[in-house]
Amino acid sequence: MAKSINSARVAGGSAGAVTIATVADILERDLDEVIQEWLARVENEPDLKAIPLSFEDRTGHLPQLLRDVIVRLRLDDETKAPISQAAAHHGDLRAQQGYTVAMAVEESRLLQVSIFTMLHKSQNHLEFTKVLPDVVTIADEVDAQLKEQMLRFMASDAAKVTAAAKVAATAKMAKVAKLA
């Protein structure tokens, strides 16, 4: 929903048409740039790099997570945001890939930083009065996605503990049966 307005540029002082877009529009337009920004940041984190993943395995979840953010930005204030199924799936995936909770939290933090960096680069094209509420919405949505990931992470951990307990109980019963 971009619109064009005439504006005097503060830096250059020259007047000209500036296209103003919503935060959602800019995120949608620059989706690949956000992903590349995020990947560059992830690759600078030794803990995250320690788990070798292909480009697709490392970034495949991001387009849908970002689309969920965009959808959230376009919702009316009174509309409750749906729970991100992509975030739930991502939590399962990262648990299977050997991530720790701290690593998943770091990835989420880097996503927010990458989004905000891209918005900063596009600040001349944003309607200033809407930026801060949209930043709050982005932070809330990314944190909600992180919560969903952590719920799945904890469920995965609980399943592993239950499976380990069953194996231990079976081994103990076999040992008792052997002694009898």
Domains and CATH numbers, the chain: 23-179 (1.10.490)
Place of tokens 């801060």: 132
- Position 163 scores a pLDDT of 53
- Position 121 scores a pLDDT of 95
- Cα–Cα–Cα angle for 132, 78, 108, rounded to 5 degrees: 50
Please provide the average confidence, as pLDDT, over all residues in the chain. 85
User: For 72-84, what is each residue's pLDDT tens digit?
Assistant: 999 988 888 888 8
Nearest to 156 by CA among 96, 86, 90, 87: 96
Is 0.85 topped by the overall pTM?
A: no
Decide if pLDDT at 71 tops 50.
Answer: yes
Taking the CB of residue 66, how many other CB atoms lie within 10 A of it? 25
